[in-house]
Structure 1
Amino acid sequence: MTKIRKVIIADDERLVRVGLMHTVDWERWNMEVVGNAPNGEMAWELYEQLRPDLVITDIVMPRMDGIQLAAKIKAANPEAKILFLSCHSDFAYAQQGMELGASGYLLKTAMDSETVDRYLMKITEEWNRTSTPSVDDTNAMYRTWYTEGRNSEQLNQTIGQHIDRLSAEGVILFGLFGLHEESQQLLLQKLEEYGGTDHACDITPIFHLHAEGAPFVIIAPSSDAERLTPLLLDCSNANKAVIWKKTDRLPSRSDFMEEISRMMKTAELERQYEYRTDAVSAPIMKAVIYIDEHLDEPIVSSQLAESIGLSRSHFSTLFKKELGVSFLEFLHRRRLRKASELLVQTDWRINLIGEKVGMEDNKHFSKWFKGYTGMTPSEFRENKRATKSNK
């Protein structure tokens, strides 16, 4: 889907603002005018509120001129585009504007649709040169990197653009090895379904790389990483041949392709020597399987720790270190996921679903469920079914 770029227009002459809004074919350039202002101060307020991609501004305006406005906008977002409106007498100001990185300036006395279109074409080409590659383009680069060893620097740059856009200071890199094409597509589908089932499991993987034969890689903000782990546990449980790894928290400007290469080499050695060091150790994996198979029963951490041969304190520390979340929170999230699935996929009574996740008290179950999702179980069921019927 083509991105629609937002535009605001600032000029103290109303006729200029109205003329630009209604005489330019903004749709042709995949742009939309989302606001206009008669002075610089109001334009800055609009900018902070709407964060437009392009600001068309008069140079000489009351209460903050266009040069001051452009300087503030460029300081807040160097990627924002500025197009100045000016008169011949504003030439000295226009030079200052160009030094700020403006894309050009339009003389009001010679402004026509053809001239405006020429600048909008120039700005569109600038966006096209600096825009983040599409998912398909990125995965094509990844395939080339995997088979020919090229595009490493370009892929690192692309990943960095995604991280910058989401203001992630630290990220976790997950790699799944031995996942066939069909399984990769299934994982993509699961990622879409899993993110948005409820608030507790709301994950947004910011970047993924996949190509036939290559590792399936997910790079996520460290704040979302703990929510991805259970999903990848399910994936590896379903296919015992899959090896998966994850890094510690990485700075946002890491050499991600080097990290992927390192994980690939480790996975290959483990495959050759038949030695596994998955991201989750055998004792914790055993605990996870037990939790999933006994969600309808009381589960006490001390008893579970004893059953897998660990002390309670060691179990708690190891569980949090490997899964990124405490035992109790993990248990709640698994129960919440199962309850959510049963509410959508069955017509069972609410109290029965509560029992299936270890909560026989119907009021307690409803209160607990609402605490995580913001909805009662009945509201959640109605909302999901209404959404599904409208698709």
Structure 2
Amino acid sequence: MDLIKVFITEDESVVREGLRDIIPWEKHGFEFVGDAPDGEMALPLIRKLKPDVLITDIKMPFMDGLSLSNIVSRELPNTKIIIISGHSDFEFARQAIELNVDQYLLKPITKASMIKALEQTKQKIEEEQEQKDYLHKYEQEIKKFESFSRRAFFEKLVEGSMSVQEIYEQADELNLNLNADGYNFVVFTVQSENNTGYSETAANTLDGILNYFLRYPDYILFRCNLLSYAVLIMGDKDNVDDMTQRSVEIIKSRCENAGDQLNWYVAVGTTTYRLSGLPQCYSDANQVLAYRHIIPSQHIFTTEMLNIERSHTAEDALESIDPQKIDPMVIRNFIQTGISEETEAFAEDYLSNLCGAENSLLFRHYIIMSARLNAEQVIQEIGCSREVFLQQIPPAELNMPVENLKSYLVSVLSAAIDMRDIETQRQTSDIIDSAIRYIDKNYTDENISLNGVAQAINISANYLSALFSQKMGVSFIEYLTQKRMTKAKQLLRQTGKRSGEIAYEIGYKDPRYFSFVFKKTQGCTPRSYRTGETD
């Protein structure tokens, strides 16, 4: 800790200079920064120097010590005040107590009494700083993991299920400032090439991107689903588009710097100048993101690009088709990696690439059979039943009217993705079970972390974080803390071990931080819990 700064205000020069010269300040962890003969001269110096400790006499000309203390306690509430007085008058002492003065010393002041008062004040400062440090550490740990109330707020926001007034009210409760002239959404996904397997490159790249956006108040980051994140961009009318482009460039540069080991995609919504326009903006961004299944070699998608693609209509339909965009692998890739919310957008994008060729009955036959056969193949590869799948989709009518083609394609894709997700749920349960077993076995290790657990069970840390929150209803750090606190309470009830011993036993190397977390989560100190008292 830095030296504690001390300022003295005393009208008696003998006392003032004596204190200044007789106390070995640095030896005791203090730095003498200045003095003044009265409150009037002291105040501007105190405002400039911002001392940690003010030593002041009560009786002084121009401005007395109580008046000075009153101003300092308002303007610099963290400054500790030691009052020295030649009077034992009760009224002075009462006023000093009301001002929350830390020490009240009667003259004559000895070197020993002043050092004792300073040491006591120093201890109080250090304890308060320690509590601030612990609170900051605790808040930083919690901030690493998504807040369910925050995520629920954004889910309702992008669904369009809140009025503008409700948006502002709930944002205020979450300390979110949504005041801006313009808004946009950037949605992105960053995964390893094998999608779920642990990748140090993917983890580090994603962490770098998330940490960048978390640093700036004009960007609000939240998780969309297991695979993607969204950034709400807020700015002035003149710069919101530049800020949006900047955010895309940040994601692009971080991912490109990682080499060819990542699957990454970015989608940009349409700028809106009203909060009420955010649901459509978010919908646009997600609709564009679904295009990654059509053009997997492209990484950045905008609504303008999609509009351009759709502007090419039936003219020279068959000649205009890009074979890559209707390749059967596009269907397969979507079933393997898409999400149910993207199905409508994907089907629309996929059919728009036919450029009117779907009006040909023969070409409709091809699309219908390609979709069904590829879907069958994928679900069989992941261990699902073909018979069950066929029971869930409408029959493949080869003379199907063109207006029914999209709904048929959506039905096939939705059924396949639903079956895939059921199988994934089973596998997910296995992943969470493995993570819980690892945590339960290793929670006493002070170095246990989300990254460590993810590496141990060979999946991405961000994927595990999302799975854990979704399945357990709490974040990783919340579960770990609950586990440790449950064990701590058991040891407090059933053993005579000291708090420090229990801290080490459950994975805290700092017993005081353990006590801080215990009180923060349980509402009382370990000692109070053991004795049945309340704080």
TM-score, structure 1 length as denominator?
A: 0.44
TM-score, structure 2 length as denominator?
A: 0.34
- Whichever of the two has the greater Rg, that structure is 2
